[in-house]
Amino acid sequence: MSDRKQVRAGVREQIREFLVTRRARLTPEQAGLPAFGGSRRVKGLRREEVATLAGISVDYYIRLERGDAAGVSESVLDGINHALQLDEAERAHLRDLLNAGVARRPTLPAAQPVLRAPVQRILDSMATTAAVVFTGRLDVIGANALGRALYGPMYAAPVRTVNTARFAFLDPAARTFWRDWDRIADDSAELLRAEAGRTPYNTKLIALIGELSTRSEEFRVRWARHNVRSYATGVKRIHHPVVGDVDLAYESTRLAHPGQMLLMYTPEPDSPSEDALRMLASWAASKPDADRPYPAADTHPSRTDTS
């Protein structure tokens, strides 16, 4: 089987597993269906129940759940979205999978993501904001000085491109660096799952997923859930080896270059986290990159966060 056919087969399997896991999480009561007594042979909704809620035939839904993405109309897709109670990220993921399943000329990713010079100048102009640019594969391809200092432990051994998913699942320091490691691990797997739906022919993404699946049980468990998410806003809770605990609100925005995302981190005004970020900026400014050692993640005493 050719590589392209293998990927197409993989997309069909992703469609099947995504739909199966989505209906498995819903009970008839949650879907607004009458609950009858007795045991149910399947977890969650039956295929027949999904088809009824979506307003399509059972045979059609079974065909779709087997990965046959041909001829799915907007009305059918809307019906399935409604029946399975998909959120915005899940709806986009299902659409991506269905499009990939029928595409005659699959879109191939660029050989190497490139950060445009104007974007780097914008990053460098953010003196008090930590800013980092990611690809859909969660590679860090750009940062300003404060962003690089914030992500210092990821740069500690730059054997290859810094990748936040690889750091989260394969570097023991990540469990100290991320104070809410479980949520970061969930987010990383879900962002990669969404990217796999958008770019199923991305060989570098496939290689990364294979590496993480082989080396991390924590990743395998999360990957099997078929959960997806998109970049949004939130708070990152970090224990930095230089300045201790920092809570940073972040905002994300897509850049003009396809697949690139800018994340900007800022603390609450007049908070311990703001003081810590100022200290980190001063520390980074005093040390050239080549001479900037990053202490082990557990060498800085944890501060009590009152922000």
Q: Are 141 and 261 in contact (CB under 8 A)?
A: no
Q: Are 163 and 191 in contact (CB under 8 A)?
A: no
CA distances 69 to 33, 51, 287, Å, are 27, 16, 55
Q: What would the CATH number be for the domain defined by 3-102? A: 1.10.260
Question: What's residue 303's pLDDT?
Answer: 37
Reference 154, options 144, 142, 143, 168; nearest CA is: 168
Q: By three-state DSSP, how is residue 234 classified?
A: strand
One-letter amino acid for residue 222 of the chain: R
Question: 117-291: what CATH class?
Answer: alpha beta
Please spell the DSSP secondary structure of 162-195, one letter per residue. -BHHHHHHH-TTHHHHBTTHHHHHHHHHHHHHHH
Question: What's residue 123's pLDDT?
Answer: 95
Digit-by-digit pLDDT tens for the chain (307 residues) are 567 788 888 999 999 999 999 999 999 999 998 765 556 777 799 999 999 999 999 999 999 999 988 889 999 999 999 999 999 999 999 999 999 888 766 655 555 778 999 999 999 999 899 999 999 999 999 999 999 999 999 988 666 689 999 999 999 999 999 999 999 999 999 999 999 999 998 989 999 999 999 999 999 999 999 999 988 889 999 999 999 999 999 999 999 888 899 999 999 999 999 999 999 999 988 876 544 444 443 333 333 333 3
All structural domains of the chain with their residue ranges = 3-102, 117-291
- Tell me the whole-structure pTM to 2 decimals: 0.88
